[in-house]
Amino acid sequence: MSHPVDVHVGKKLKQIRILRGMTQTDVANGLNISFQQVQKYELGRNRISASKLFELAGILDVPPAYFFDGLEGANSEKSPKMDDEAAKVAAMLTRIKDIKLRTHIRSFISEIATSQNAH
């Protein structure tokens, strides 16, 4: 049985990997491990060592504490949950270089979300 912390860290790994537009193979190559090992990390089946977590933070350009954000009892600010689909949309949005266009898309999404919550 996987430990809940390992599952949480794995989900955060998958979330930021998708947000960065990276494949499991990209991450695996950066760590010099197999992509199957990255799969096991993301599912929480295998625990990520402190040294690998530190390397992951560098590869994915996040502080090591990122992997523990939102963890029950963690002394960090609460961050909203992001599912895989939201991470993919966020990754696509960051690839749009035209700031004005990105602002319009965010406004459009905001208006839709607001209208959905009103009904």
Q: What is the pLDDT of residues 16-46, one digit of tens each?
A: 999 998 999 999 999 999 999 999 999 999 9
Domains present along the chain, CATH in parentheses? 4-118 (1.10.260.40)
* pLDDT-above-70 percentage for the chain: 91
Residues 20, 60 contacting (CB under 8 angstroms): yes
Return d(Cα 86, Cα 94) in angstroms, integer. 12
Q: Is the pLDDT of residue 13 over 90?
A: yes
73: confidence class by pLDDT, cuts 50, 70, 90: low
The per-residue pLDDT of the chain, averaged, comes to: 87
User: In this predicted structure, what is the pLDDT of residue 116?
Assistant: 78
- The predicted model gives 54-64 an average pLDDT of 94
User: CB neighbours of 115 closer than 8 A, spacing ≥ 6?
Assistant: none
Residue 8 neighbours by CB distance under 10 Å: 19
**Helix 24-31 crosses helix 50-60 at what angle (to 10 degrees)?**
120
The model's pLDDT over 92-105, given as tens digits with 9 standing for 90+, comes to: 888 888 888 888 88
User: In this predicted structure, what is the pLDDT of residue 76?
Assistant: 43
